[in-house]
Amino acid sequence: MAELLRSITSRLRQYVADRRRDPRFRVRLAVAVSLYDLRAATPWSKPVVGYTRDVSASGLGLVLPAIRAGDRYLVGQDQTLRVTLKLPTGASPRIYATPVRYERIEEGQTDTGFFVGVRINEMDEQDRAAFTSYLEELKK
């Protein structure tokens, strides 16, 4: 059912304006995702390892085997996630993001686990430069 809704939405975007500001690139990159405590500036959990389904300058689509890290949900309200990407260039930018949606990937799909959409909140300057440079390469 979820795939049907996603398909309908995709077709509507072809005929009606696409709300997404930044172009998305379908690319599979390794990621490590952990809950992050902004006040203490430390991770709260061990990382959950997964990969990207798509990337853009403002967000990431992640495929993760679980939406829990220990006893806490990665997708809970007011959560900050630290996402570490493994770029083909060798860089590993750390991205601080907020989950905006998630859904279980239905059986029969090529991916397994959960799809988690995150909005990028911040990166340090060096990580932003590496990530932006990678996105520019994808545009070519």
Give the start-to-end residue ranges of the domains of the chain: 22-139
How high is the pLDDT of residue 40?
A: 60
Residue 69 pLDDT class (50, 70, 90 cuts): confident
pLDDT digits (tens, 9 = 90+) for 88-131: 999 999 999 999 999 998 877 778 899 999 999 999 999 999 99
Q: Which of 34-38, 42-46, 78-82, 136-140 has the lowest mean pLDDT?
A: 42-46
Topology (CATH) of 22-139: Thrombin, subunit H (2.40.10)
Residue 60 pLDDT class (50, 70, 90 cuts): very high
pLDDT exceeds cutoff 80 at 63: yes
pLDDT digits (tens, 9 = 90+) for 33-59: 998 876 666 667 789 999 999 999 999
Q: Phi and psi of 126, rounded to 5°? A: -65, -40
pLDDT exceeds cutoff 80 at 1: no
How high is the pLDDT of residue 43?
A: 63
How high is the pLDDT of residue 2?
A: 56
State the burial class of residue 85 (Cβ atoms within 10 Å of its Cβ: 0-12, 13-18, 19+).
Answer: buried
Q: Max CA-CA distance within the chain? A: 46
Tokens representing 94 are 């750390």
- Helices then strands, counting H and E runs in the chain, come out as 2, 9
Q: Which residues of 60-84 are buried (b: 16+ CB within 10 A; e: fewer)?
A: bbbbbeebebeeeebbeeebbbbbb
Region 19-46: mean pLDDT is 80
Q: What is the DSSP letter of 128?
A: H
Tokens representing 79 are 């959560």
The pTM for the full model equals 0.79
Q: Which residues of 94-117 are buried (b: 16+ CB within 10 A; e: fewer)?
A: bbbbbbeebeebeeeeeeebbbbb
